[in-house]
C-alpha cells in the first residue's frame, strides 16, 4: 500500500448539540458569520435556533438562503458578493448537502480569487479558507465531514466536483434532533444517499482498512434503522442511528472517494435538476449488478453486514445477496427502480454517458465502465426516444 491520508473535522455529535454552534464559532475566532441555509430548513426553525445560539455568544451574522436543491454557479456568485459586502469572516452551513456544498463554495471564494469554475477538479485551492462549521439537517450527504463541494455549471448543465482537503470543515455538529422534521420521502432518499456513500467507498479502488471500518458500520446501521426512520419521524433511536450512519459514510467516502453511481448521478442531477438522493437510490442496484464481478469478496462482506446468511454459499451467490439486500431495502422504501416519466433523446443519453466517464468518481469505481456501458445502464432506468 502506498501513502494514504485520512482526514476528518472536529466532530460534535448528539441530541441538542446544535447548542454548541456559538461556542464553536468563538473557538475558531469568528466575529461575523455568514449563515448559509435554505428556505425549508428556515421553515423548520433550525436556522432560528442556530442564530439564537450565535446571539448568546454575542456573535454577529448575516443569513443567506438563496439556493436551489442543486446549487448553481450563479447562486454561489451572488452569495460571495453578499459575504464580502457584509464583512463576514466565517461560514456556517446548516441544512442538507445543497446548503453545505454552497457554504463551502462561498467560503472558498471568500479567500480565493476568480470563479468557482476554476476550482473544478482536485487540489486547486491556493489560499486557506475562512473558519467553517457545518450542521447537517438530513442523514445523507456527509458534506459536513467531506472534502467535496458539488456545484452545477449552469451553462454546461454539469455538476462540477470541487475536491480539496481545504474544503473539510473545521467543526461538524451533528444533531439527530434535526432529522425529526423530515418527511418519509426525504428520509428515504437521503438515507439511500448515505448507503450509496457507504457501499461505493467500501468497494472503491482507494478504500483502505481505515475507511472500510466506517463504510461497514454505516451499512450495518442503515440496514437496521433506515426503514424505522422512514416509518416515523419521532423514532429517536432510529434518527440517532441514521445520523451516525451518515457520519460514518461521509468519513469513509471523503477519504476513499466514490464510484459509478455518483459519476452518473452527477450528470442526471446537473442536466435535469433531479434530487440527488433519489437518483442515487434508483441507480444503486443497477450499478451494483454491473460492479459485482470486480469485488465479490467485498460484496460478500456487505451482504453479511446487511444480515444476510452467506454461510455455505459460493462467493458469487454470497456476493449476489448484497445486491438482493439493497433491492429489498429500495422496495420497502417504495423507491422505483427507474424513472418512468423521464424520456430523453438518444443524443441526450449519449451526452450524459460521455460526461459520466469523465467524472472524477469514475476513477475509483472497481470495474472499468465505458460510455457504452453507461449508455446501456441509462436505457434501463429511463425511456429513450430515437
Backbone angles phi, psi at 162, to 5 degrees: -100, 120
Among candidate residues 49, 59, 12, 281, the one with its CA nearest the CA of residue 178: 49
Query: With contact defined as beta carbons under 8 Å apart, do 193 and 310 qualify?
Result: no
Asked, for residue 4, whether it belongs to a domain, the answer is: no
- Residues 141 and 200 grouped into a single domain: no
Domain holding 330, by residue range, is 182-385
Among candidate residues 122, 89, 121, 126, the one with its CA nearest the CA of residue 106: 89
- Residues 233 and 164 grouped into a single domain: no
Q: CA-based diameter of the chain, in Å? A: 66
The domain boundary residue, chosen from 124, 155, 179: 179
State which residues of the chain have pLDDT below 70: 1-3, 386
Among candidate residues 21, 86, 81, the one with its CA nearest the CA of residue 54: 21
Asked, for residue 144, whether it belongs to a domain, the answer is: yes
Q: H or E stretch including 64?
A: strand 60-64
Asked, for residue 5, whether it belongs to a domain, the answer is: no
Distance CA 215, CA 73 (A): 31
Asked, for residue 19, whether it belongs to a domain, the answer is: yes
- Cα of 5 vs its chain's centroid, Å: 20
- C-alpha cell recorded at residue 137: 439537517
Q: pLDDT tens across 60-93, in order? A: 999 999 999 899 999 999 999 999 999 999 999 9
Asked, for residue 1, whether it belongs to a domain, the answer is: no
- Residues 344 and 330 grouped into a single domain: yes
- Residues 333 and 345 grouped into a single domain: yes
Asked, for residue 2, whether it belongs to a domain, the answer is: no
Q: pLDDT tens across 99-158, in order? A: 999 999 999 999 999 999 999 998 999 999 999 999 999 999 999 999 999 999 999 988
**Which pLDDT belongs to residue 383?**
79
The domain boundary residue, chosen from 179, 213, 243: 179
Alpha helices in the chain (DSSP H): 21-27, 39-43, 46-56, 73-85, 97-111, 184-203, 209-231, 236-256, 260-272, 276-291, 296-305, 315-332, 346-356, 371-381
CATH number of the domain enclosing 172: 3.40.50.1970
- Residues 103 and 187 grouped into a single domain: no
Distance CA 61, CA 87 (A): 10
- C-alpha cell recorded at residue 34: 455568514
Among candidate residues 279, 281, 328, the one with its CA nearest the CA of residue 320: 328
Query: With contact defined as beta carbons under 8 Å apart, do 84 and 110 qualify?
Result: yes
Asked, for residue 3, whether it belongs to a domain, the answer is: no
CATH number of the domain enclosing 221: 1.20.1090.10
The number of distinct structural domains making up the chain is: 2
- Residues 211 and 330 grouped into a single domain: yes
CA atoms within 13 A on the CB side of 102: 31
Distance CA 252, CA 197 (A): 8
Amino acid at each position: 500500500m502506498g501513502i494514504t491520508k485520512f482526514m476528518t473535522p472536529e466532530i460534535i455529535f448528539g441530541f441538542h448539540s446544535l447548542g454548541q454552534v456559538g461556542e464553536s464559532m468563538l473557538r475558531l475566532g469568528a466575529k461575523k458569520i455568514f449563515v448559509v441555509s435554505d428556505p425549508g430548513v428556515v421553515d423548520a426553525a433550525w436556522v432560528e435556533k442556530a442564530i439564537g445560539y450565535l446571539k448568546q455568544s454575542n456573535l454577529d451574522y448575516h443569513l443567506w438562503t438563496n439556493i436551489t436543491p442543486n446549487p448553481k454557479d450563479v447562486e454561489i456568485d451572488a452569495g460571495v458578493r453578499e459575504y464580502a459586502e457584509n464583512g463576514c469572516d466565517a461560514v456556517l452551513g446548516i441544512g442538507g448537502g445543497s446548503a453545505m456544498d454552497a457554504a463551502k463554495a462561498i467560503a472558498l471564494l471568500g479567500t480565493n480569487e476568480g470563479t468557482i469554475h476554476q476550482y473544478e477538479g482536485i487540489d486547486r485551492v491556493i489560499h486557506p479558507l475562512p473558519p467553517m462549521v457545518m450542521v447537517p439537517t438530513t442523514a445523507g450527504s456527509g458534506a459536513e465531514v467531506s472534502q467535496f463541494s458539488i456545484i452545477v455549471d449552469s451553462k454546461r448543465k454539469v455538476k462540477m466536483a470541487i475536491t480539496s482537503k481545504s474544503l473539510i470543515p473545521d467543526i461538524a455538529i451533528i444533531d439527530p434532533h434535526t432529522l425529526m422534521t423530515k418527511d418519509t420521502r426525504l428520509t428515504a432518499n437521503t438515507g439511500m444517499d448515505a448507503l450509496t456513500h457507504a457501499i461505493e467507498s467500501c468497494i472503491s479502488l482507494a478504500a483502505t482498512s481505515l475507511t472500510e471500518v466506517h463504510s461497514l458500520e454505516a451499512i450495518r446501521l442503515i440496514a437496521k434503522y433506515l426503514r424505522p426512520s422512514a416509518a416515523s419521524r419521532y423514532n429517536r433511536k432510529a434518527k440517532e442511528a441514521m445520523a451516525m450512519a451518515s457520519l460514518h459514510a461521509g468519513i469513509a467516502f471523503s477519504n476513499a472517494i466514490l464510484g459509478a453511481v455518483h459519476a452518473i448521478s452527477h450528470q442526471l442531477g446537473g442536466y435535469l435538476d433531479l434530487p440527488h438522493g433519489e437518483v442515487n437510490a434508483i441507480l444503486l442496484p443497477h450499478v451494483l449488478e454491473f460492479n459485482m464481478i470486480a469485488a465479490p469478496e467485498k460484496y460478500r462482506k456487505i451482504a453479511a453486514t446487511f444480515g444476510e446468511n452467506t454461510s455455505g454459499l459460493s462467493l458469487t451467490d454470497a456476493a449476489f445477496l448484497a445486491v438482493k439486500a439493497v433491492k429489498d431495502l429500495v422496495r420497502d422504501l417504495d423507491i422505483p427502480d427507474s424513472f418512468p416519466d423521464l424520456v430523453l433523446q438518444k443524443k441526450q443519453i449519449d451526452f450524459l454517458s460521455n460526461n459520466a466517464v469523465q467524472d472524477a468518481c469514475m476513477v475509483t469505481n472497481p470495474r472499468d465502465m465505458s460510455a457504452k456501458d453507461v449508455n446501456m445502464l441509462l436505457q434501463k432506468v429511463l425511456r429513450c426516444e430515437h
